[in-house]
Amino acid sequence: MIRKLRISLAALCFAAFCLLFVDVSGFWPQKLAFLAKIQLVPALIAGSLLIVLALALLTLLLGRVYCSILCPLGILQDLIARLGKKGRYSFSPARGQLRVGAMVLFVLAFCLGIPWLFALLDPYSSFGRIATDLFAPLWQAGSNLLNLASESAGSYAVGPTPIWQKGVSALAAAVLTLALIAYLAFKGGRTWCNTICPVGTMLGYLNRFALIRPRLEAAKCIHCGLCVRECKASCIDSKKSEIDAGRCVVCFNCLDKCRRGAIDYGPRSFAPKAAQAAIPERTAQAAALVNKTGAAGGPNLARRGLLVAAFGLAASPAHAVKEINENEIAALIRKERPPRNTPITPPGSRGLASFREKCSGCQLCVSACPNQVLSSFDQGEGLLQPTLSFERGFCRVNCVTCSAVCPTGAILPISAAKKSATQIGRAVLDPSLCINSKGEGRCFACGRNCPPGAINLLEKADGSRTVAVDAERCTGCGACEYYCPVRPLAAIAVQGNEEHRPI
């Protein structure tokens, strides 16, 4: 019963996390954003001491239920494990040095300001990239198939959903992380949790002192190994009748398999463990039971591999722009991202330094952005972290979705009014590309679509026109860059501010 309850709660949490990252309607991200904020690493970064304390107390009371119910990456491993070695696990000694080494690397990456390494080890951020860059496109493709079927039936109730890649580095990290975790889960269950994951290591230390946890009664154990075969954490040593509490993820698989009632879930015993004696009767019973159910052992899980990869980026060819009328539709040529001396960080992030210090690269703001202006940075210090770009839209004044869903405090909550009075960047004109300056036409698309009215059109004595930007009024929303008809690089582009400032 308790195992079914745990599975039901885990399934509910996993479904909610998937909706949080892949929903195309925009309804669920803000409704379910609290799930991201109760994850351990985001809560630590955000300084949410009450959440951290609550998770620590939960572990001290009930064991690592966080790993078995609340962690989406852990539940994903369970789903993959069901396709692999379910019922054929074996005991594996703890790899303390590897766990401590990964934990030290995680802490150093955070303290030394290496966000991409920190993001690769954080389980919540890893799941976020997998969901955003792999699960979401599949979900969107399914929505588009439904749209085609709906249109063929004469109904337009389901609209099409654009599918685009929001960062090469994030995609590569998602593919490699999923491949590695899937391999380890398929072969050995929760291997990632108990060898690499820093959250598993932290909670594992607390789990040793948990008041309620799975217990193995040596007097009843006949060393049959049935519990070992079902233990996806590989932490039950049936020969010694011991459960490694530091690695147990409280999945309750062992409870249903023990036919002697030697394993239960209750208050841990503080009494000294009784000495184990070789009992011929137990050995005979164990042999008979194993003969009925199959060999209790399994392949050694000691040798596991780690994969490493490099990231690449392709560019589109340039194209000349002919004279146009600003009311005409621009040519269908892909717009490229202009070079920016300073990346643009979302409103509410206060500036580049504070954003990079707290952002874990989970991609939740990227997947939740209704304006399609957030994507992951593909190079430099901000690798895997979000940045604004305006090939597909601009940052609308009334939208504060990213600040509402950010779980780490990298993007602080901000009102639409405050956002409209904050400059995150400033528009800069390149006269060599502007249609007006080149004498190829008359265009004022940037000024007509500028929300704060920071762009003016100036008439020269010779009858030519030019565009001027009022840097004091510009908010850096990117509307001018988005609406500029020049391809592949817009004639006017936004350069980010190191520090956001009020205007």
Q: Judge if 213 and 93 occupy the same domain.
A: yes
- The verdict on residue 339 lying in a domain is no
- The verdict on residue 242 lying in a domain is yes
> Of 270, 293, 316, which closes a domain?
293
| Segments forming the whole domain that contains residue 24 | 2-142+159-293
Q: Judge if 32 and 106 occupy the same domain.
A: yes
Cβ–Cβ < 8 Å for 70, 171: no
Cβ–Cβ < 8 Å for 36, 124: yes
What are the φ and ψ backbone dihedral angles of 195, each rounded to 5 degrees? -130, -35
> Of 225, 260, 293, which closes a domain?
293
| Distance in angstroms (rounded) separating the CA atoms of residues 26 and 16 | 14
| Distance in angstroms (rounded) separating the CA atoms of residues 108 and 281 | 53
Cβ–Cβ < 8 Å for 18, 135: yes
- The verdict on residue 310 lying in a domain is no
The domain spanning residue 363 has which CATH number? 3.30.70.20
- The verdict on residue 309 lying in a domain is no
CA 301 to chain centre: 28
Q: Where are the beta strands (DSSP E) in 389-434?
A: 422-429
DSSP collapsed to 3 states, 485-503: CCCCCCCEEEEEEEEEEEC
- The verdict on residue 330 lying in a domain is no
Buried b (16+ CB within 10 A) or exposed e, 116-149: bbbbbbbbbbbbbbbbbbebbbebbeebbeebee
Q: Judge if 372 and 460 occupy the same domain.
A: yes
pLDDT at 379: 78
Cis peptide before 214 (omega within 30 of 0): no
- The verdict on residue 71 lying in a domain is yes
Q: Judge if 103 and 233 occupy the same domain.
A: yes
Q: Judge if 243 and 362 occupy the same domain.
A: no
Q: Judge if 79 and 176 occupy the same domain.
A: yes
| Distance in angstroms (rounded) separating the CA atoms of residues 248 and 65 | 10
pLDDT at 332: 60
DSSP label of 158: S
Q: Judge if 80 and 209 occupy the same domain.
A: yes
Q: What is the pLDDT along the chain (503 residues), one digit of tens a residue?
A: 889 999 999 999 999 999 999 886 778 888 899 999 999 999 999 999 999 999 999 999 999 999 999 999 999 999 999 887 666 888 998 888 999 999 999 999 988 888 899 999 999 999 999 999 999 998 888 888 888 888 888 877 777 777 877 889 999 999 999 999 999 999 889 999 999 999 999 999 999 999 998 999 888 898 888 899 999 999 999 888 899 999 999 999 998 888 888 999 988 765 444 444 444 444 445 445 444 444 444 433 333 333 233 223 333 333 333 444 444 444 467 888 999 999 999 999 999 999 999 999 999 999 999 999 999 988 778 889 999 999 999 999 999 999 999 999 999 999 999 999 999 999 999 999 999 888 777 899 999 999 999 999 888 777 778 899 999 999 999 999 999 999 999 999 999 999 999 98
Q: Judge if 67 and 179 occupy the same domain.
A: yes
Q: Judge if 279 and 389 occupy the same domain.
A: no
Residues 6+ apart with CB under 8 A from 79: 14
| Distance in angstroms (rounded) separating the CA atoms of residues 84 and 188 | 8
> Of 262, 293, 324, which closes a domain?
293
Q: Max Cα separation, the chain?
A: 108
The DSSP bridge pattern shows strands 465-469 and 386-388 to be unpaired
Look at the chain and report how many structural domains it folds into.
2
- The verdict on residue 442 lying in a domain is yes
The residue type found at 219 is A
Q: Judge if 289 and 393 occupy the same domain.
A: no
Q: Judge if 73 and 220 occupy the same domain.
A: yes
Q: Judge if 278 and 372 occupy the same domain.
A: no
Report field, pTM of the whole predicted structure over 0.85? no
Give the residue among 129, 115, 125 at the shortest CA–CA distance from 353. Answer: 115
Cβ–Cβ < 8 Å for 47, 411: no
Bridge partner list, 335: none
- The verdict on residue 334 lying in a domain is no
**Residue 399's CB: how many other CB atoms inside 10 A?**
19
Cβ–Cβ < 8 Å for 398, 448: no
**Residue 273's CB: how many other CB atoms inside 10 A?**
11
Give the residue among 415, 479, 434 at the shortest CA–CA distance from 453. Answer: 479
